[in-house]
Amino acid sequence: MTRIVASLCLGLIGLVLLTLAQSSSLPVTDASIPAVIPDPATLHALQTRYRSLSKQLNHLMPSQPYIVVDTARNHLYIKRRDHVMLDALASTGSGTILDKPGEAKGQWVFDTPRGEFTVQSKLINPVWVKPDWAFVEEGLAIPKSYTDRIEPGVLGEYALGFGKGFFIHGTLYTRLLGKNVTHGCIRLNDDDLKSVYRLAKVGTPIMIF
């Protein structure tokens, strides 16, 4: 018992010492960046350069509506500059993994890809061409015939492709909106999907984080 108390005391003393040691050396705001001698000409040049860079950055921002997908909170936004045109509850990738049959180390990882993409295709009444993982997940054999992969009526009325087989599409499982449950695609309810289809064009940027 005495040993435990002594160990706890030592631990606490160590913690206090560490905190004090850090406090004495931190924060280092005064030594963060080198001091600059104020000079009106330098200041004016800096102000001019700053304004010029700001304008250049402003020009890089999309001038047309763009799509933002927040995979952590499962929301899809359509924005124009800073104005939010649509805030939709979505479902994004589950992050789960599935072993590829017959491959020692092969796996599917069901993440929604992150980064910047563009709308590459806009489809009306899309049909789902079930990929291999959909059969493996259900414990079924992978069909040889293409027609055996086709499943209509599960993706909603519209689908917007953004590359590598990923789509923004509808869902039958609207109760799961707001959760990470998909195999990488982005699901929306019917009304929001219709708005996205109407507002987005082929080439519209999609920023996913």
Partner 1 sequence: MPRPSVTGILICFFVLTAAHPTRAADADYPLSVDVTNPAALQEATRILAEELKLASRPQAYVIVDLIDRVVVIKGRGVELHRFSIEDWSAGQLADASTTFRLQTRPPVTRRKIEPAAGGEQPPISLDDMPTDFTLQFSPTFSLTVHPSASDDIGRWLRFKGREWWIWLKEWAMTLATGRGPLPQAWLHLTVTSDHAQSLAWTVTEGMAFLVRRPPPSP
Determine the Cα–Cα distance for residues 113 and 188; give it in Å rounded to an integer.
17
Residue 201 sits in the site that holds partner 1 (CB under 8 A): no
Q: How far apart are CA 170 and CA 193, in angstroms?
A: 6
- Phi, psi at residue 23, to the nearest 5°? -60, -35
Shortest distance, position 124 Cβ to partner 1, whole Å: 28
Select from 6, 8, 11, 106 the one that contacts partner 1 (CB under 8 A). Answer: 11
Strands 75-80 and 83-89: antiparallel
Shorter beta-carbon distance to partner 1: residue 158 or 168: 168
Alpha carbon distance 175, 127 (integer Å) = 22
Strand partners, 127: 152
From residue 152 to residue 191, what is the string marking binding to partner 1 with x (rule CB under 8 A)? ---------------------------xxx----------
Residue with smaller CB distance to partner 1, 111 or 157: 111
Q: Assess 85 for contact with partner 1 (CB under 8 A).
A: no
Locate 130 and state its tokens: 């079930």
Q: Which two tokens stand for residue 160?
A: 């917007």
In angstroms, the CA 30 to CA 38 distance is 17
Q: Which is nearer to partner 1, 25 or 145 (CB)?
A: 25
> Which residue ranges make up the site for partner 1 (CB under 8 A)?
11, 14-15, 18-19, 21-22, 25-39, 42-43, 46-47, 49-51, 53-58, 60-62, 66, 68, 70-73, 79, 82, 94-99, 109, 114-117, 136-140, 179-181, 205, 207, 209
